[in-house]
Amino acid sequence: MNRLITGAIITIVIGGTAFTVSQANIVKHFADDTGLTQQQAEEYVSGIKDEDLASFDEVGSDYIDEGQQLVGNASEIDCVNYKYEWESAGLTCYTGKAQLSRIGNDEIALGQSYIKLGSDSASKEDISKTIEFIDKFNSDFDLSIVSNIYNRSEIDEIKKTNSFNKALLKATLESE
């Protein structure tokens, strides 16, 4: 993410266009998306260090790699010959395998969307699509298989990171 911070004003470059957003607007959207109070959201956003930030291309590549890993793992699940420890009456092997594939494919789509934002041809429509992909990916964390992949603190941090990126993109759409 190309960000230049000056006080409470942040400049974000998407598709060769520089957007100026206020940190207060990002905090508002972040609080709305996470359910945190404005103060909690402000503390989270203010606590993000420069070294924690990455370009859209880097974030996108990471999501694509992780998504491909999940899809690959799902394809290796053999529901005919094996019983997995995560299987239960509420989570069959076939359901778990399908959920794992869904999460991986949604993560890949989100990664591709971030990479598009890093290109010179990215548009406001691409920003809106990325927000939709973030929502879709965050909703995947409600699937039954997730608690077998991530622990609660990992889920919370991934969702907060996604919500921060969503807040940043929503503020960008409103900046003109």
Give the domain ranges of the chain. Answer: 3-173
The pLDDT, as a whole number, for residue 158 is: 92
Token pair listed for 121? 């041809």
Nearest to 101 by CA among 145, 157, 158, 151: 145
The pLDDT, as a whole number, for residue 59 is: 92
The pLDDT, as a whole number, for residue 44 is: 87
CA distance 158 to 103: 13
Q: What pTM value is reported for the model?
A: 0.89
Q: What b/e string do you get for 124-153 counting C-beta neighbours within 10 Å, with b at 16 or more? A: eebbebbbebbeebbebbebebbeebeeee
- How many Cβ atoms are within 10 Å of 82's Cβ, its own excluded? 9
The pLDDT, as a whole number, for residue 54 is: 83
Q: Which of 15-24, 67-76, 163-172 has the lowest mean pLDDT?
A: 15-24
**What is the pLDDT confidence band of residue 43, given thresholds at 50, 70 and 90?**
confident
**Is residue 93 predicted with pLDDT exceeding 50?**
yes
**What is the pLDDT confidence band of residue 2, given thresholds at 50, 70 and 90?**
very low
CA distance 95 to 25: 40
**One-letter amino acid of 59:** V
The predicted model gives 72-90 an average pLDDT of 95
**Is residue 94 predicted with pLDDT exceeding 80?**
yes
**Is residue 6 predicted with pLDDT exceeding 50?**
no
Q: Using a pLDDT cut of 70, give the percent of the chain over it.
A: 95
